[in-house]
Structure formats: structure tokens, C-alpha cells
Structure 1
Amino acid sequence: MWQYLVVWVVTTVLSALLTPRPKTTTPEPGQVEAPLASADAPIPVLFGTRVIKQPNCVWYGDIRTTPIRQSGGGKK
């Protein structure tokens, strides 16, 4: 019984350590990649799970980037 618990803990720690970390990039103000909104754009046919860089959508939202000018969250 203890052998199974030790093997489970070791494999869980190894899988957590060996997973690839995503690259985090923060866009600069004015450098936001908005989706394409065009009536004559072709509709892509995809099979499986894919990432579309420029999807065709009708409305994306208010694209604004404003710097946060507030200090940390201390108690008042």
C-alpha cells in the first residue's frame, strides 16, 4: 500500500516539474491583436483543435489599454 502512495507522489511531482511553461507576453498599449471583422472573409473549415490567429467576428469589445496607477491592496 505504501509503495503505491510513494509512486503516486513521485509521478505527480515529476509530471508537475516536466510540464512546459507557457510564454507570457503582455501587449504594449496600442499593440492589441483584434480579430478580423469582414463580411467577405472566407470561413475556415477546421478539423480537430486549432488556434485561429485572426478569427472573423462581428464585435470584439472596447479595446483600450490604460495603465494601472494604484498601489497595492493594503487594509484601510
Structure 2
Amino acid sequence: MWLYVFTLVLSVVLSIAMRPRPQSQKPPALADFSVPTAEEGREAMVIFGEVWVDDPNVLAYGDLRTTPIKAKGGK
């Protein structure tokens, strides 16, 4: 029985010691993302059908809240 316990402990120690170390990565920068822009004076695209747009421009957005949402009932 002690041989099995020793083998288990030895295998756990070896697996922890020999596991691959994660490489440190730099955090993603803003240039790594493709996000919609909101530029004034930029032409609005007219699209017919289904097409992939690589550089979208936000024309309008809304329904933004400036007041916090409060729970009904309690304190």
C-alpha cells in the first residue's frame, strides 16, 4: 500500500514540475480591435443585400441612461 501512495505522490510532484509554463503576453492594445467609429462628415455607406463591413461608422445611437436603476420594493 505504501508503494502506491509513494508512486501517487511522486507522479503528482513530477507532473507539476514538468508542466509547460505559460508565456507572458502583453495586454491587447486599442489597435488590436476593430471597433465602429463615429466621425462627423464621413460618408454613409449604402448597402444592398448581405455584405461584410470591415470599417463601420456609427450613424446614430440612443437609449442611454443617466440615472441609476433602482430595485423595486426594498430599501
Shorter-chain TM range is: 0.3 to 0.5
> What TM-score do you get using the length of structure 1 for normalisation?
0.38
Higher share of residues assigned helix: 2
Q: TM-score with structure 2 length normalisation?
A: 0.39
Indicate the structure (1 or 2) with the bigger Cα radius of gyration. Answer: 2
